[in-house]
């Protein structure tokens, strides 16, 4: 994996984590549990599941939110 790809994964992961924490401050403990579950042993690479070919940050954050809410209310 190239350095540019690793940097992009790290940036996307940080953006997703920050978004979840600011969008759901009343559920911070659950957000942190969700983050830990997503990252698992693979770390930042697992956040790539929320990206798409367009590279739209807005859509990525929307998918992260939907995944969190689905995880919260199965």
pTM for this structure? 0.85
User: Where does 24-56 have alpha helices with state H?
Assistant: 28-39
| Model pLDDT for residues 42-74, shown as the tens digit of each residue | 788 888 889 877 778 899 999 999 999 999 998
Helices 28-39 and 57-72, axial angle in degrees (round to 10): 110
- 17-35 per-position pLDDT tens digit: 999 999 999 999 999 999 9
Residues making up the chain, counted from first to last: 74
Higher-pLDDT residue of 14, 44:
14
Stretch (H or E) spanning 8: helix 3-23
Across all residues in the chain, what is the average pLDDT? 89
């Amino acid at each position: 994996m190239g350095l540019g790809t690793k940097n992009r994964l790290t940036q996307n992961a940080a953006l997703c984590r920050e978004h979840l924490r600011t969008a759901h401050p009343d559920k911070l403990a659950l957000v942190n549990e969700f983050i830990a579950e997503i990252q698992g042993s693979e770390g930042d690479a697992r956040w790539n599941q929320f990206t798409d070919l367009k590279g739209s940050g807005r859509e990525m954050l929307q998918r992260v939110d939907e995944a969190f809410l689905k995880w919260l209310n199965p």
